A and B are shown apart, each in its own frame.
Chain A
């Protein structure tokens, strides 16, 4: 009998289970259910990637090379959106520590700086608010200077103007929340302007015409300023109202209009070309 020669076994690492993202995407049911497009980088798949994603589909499928150039757009609209997202995140975090009542508001703001971990969060929110005002104005300036408001984009310009106003209203309502002397008197001065609203403000033109016999319909207790402040002066009701407007009402309107704004860029033919 010949003894079988045993070859010495070579050492090898145990085989690790291999994972291929491509296989996951194209072969498993989970992967196929999540993505509706292929995996190649041909024209069709790249278009499908954009069209079948709820977030991407607001964007144009194609962007002109000139339109993607930083010098043409300044990326001001994109920056505005990015800053808005940071404001949403930091704002939600601040809501965990802030109570919009006369008793607590100012102390909570001080505590955010003194006791809350990462006291810079409030500053981030504040700087972000300043930055968003700047980027939104830059965006508007760029759109104006490149003539991008012209047909067929005139409707999107109007949506943008509303977004500009809402951005400033977000700043205005957020201004009151620290509940210090600056906040108090800035909002007092600011909301006094609403007194002079035609017909709706009790000191505005036309308000005196709205009489029922000799009873004025529009007075200090029934005009548009009263509805805004929930009272005759800036007090507890105004603080709560501005908080709700700042954290819920205006952001919801802004998000809806932003979706329309982005979607209209696509529908109006993508980013405009240089003239």
Chain B
């Protein structure tokens, strides 16, 4: 038997739940004004052999390194607590200002509290000959993922 009072309480409870869930959903934006996670960064011959290219570190959060084996995209996020290390050209290492973690040019950690190497992102050649980096696919050394062909662009 449904009473009017019970009905009123049900409506009130439903409206409250609806209002609270709407408020919760409101806190999750639909559109982000953040850089794209997949982007083109010019042709491979604009990257010098043996150099760490820092031109995309502010815009996209990647370092592009060309080694004799090929080109790879390193994440600029320190694996300790998420700060941004800097490339020290004279010392040939990435050094994190927050807690002193150090990484080799390859991304392997060798000093400080960082527990694992920097992550690499998917890198490939687009149809127009430009390098295409996709940050939504990441490769972790400690999981053996750096042998994945998408983690290194042979040139």
Contact = CB atoms under 8 A, between A and B. Distances in A.
Interface of A: 181, 185, 188-189, 192, 221-222, 226-227, 230-233, 235-237
A236 B83 contact: no
B32 A232 contact: yes
A192 B29 contact: no
16 contacts: A181-B97, A185-B84, A185-B97, A188-B82, A188-B83, A189-B81, A189-B82, A192-B81, A221-B32, A227-B28, A230-B29, A231-B29, A231-B32, A232-B34, A236-B33, A237-B29
Nearest to A221: B32
B11 interface: no
A192 B77 CA distance: 11
B27 interface: yes
A230 B27 CA distance: 7
Interface in B57-83: 81-83
Q: State the 3 A-B residue pairs at the shortest beta-carbon distance, nearest first.
A: A189-B81, A192-B82, A227-B27
B14 interface: no
A230 B83 CA distance: 19
Interface string B10-42: 000000000000000001110011100000000
B88 interface: no
Interface residues of B, number: 12
Interface in B80-112: 81-84, 97-98
Given A189-B83, A192-B81, A192-B82, A222 B28 contact: yes
B81 A233 contact: no
A235 to B, nearest CB: 7
Nearest to B28: A227
A226 B33 CA distance: 13
Contacts of A237: 29, 32-33
Nearest to A190: B81
Contacts of B34: 231-233, 235
> Which of B28, B29, B32, B82: most chain A CB closer than 10 A?
B82
Contacts of B29: 230-231, 237
B28 A226 contact: yes
B32 to A, nearest CB: 5
Contacts of A235: 33-34
A230 B82 CA distance: 17
Contact of A185 (B28, B33, B98): B98
Contacts of A236: 33
Nearest to A195: B82
B28 to A, nearest CB: 6
Contacts of A185: 83-84, 97-98
A173 B17 CA distance: 28
Given A232-B34, A237-B32, 10 more contacts: A185-B98, A188-B82, A189-B81, A189-B98, A227-B28, A231-B29, A231-B32, A235-B33, A237-B29, A237-B33
Nearest to A185: B83
B151 to A, nearest CB: 20
A88 to B, nearest CB: 25
A222 B29 CA distance: 10
Contacts of B82: 188-189, 192
A230 B33 CA distance: 10
A167 B81 CA distance: 24
Nearest to B98: A185
Nearest to A186: B98
A188 B82 CA distance: 7
Contacts of B32: 221, 231-232, 237
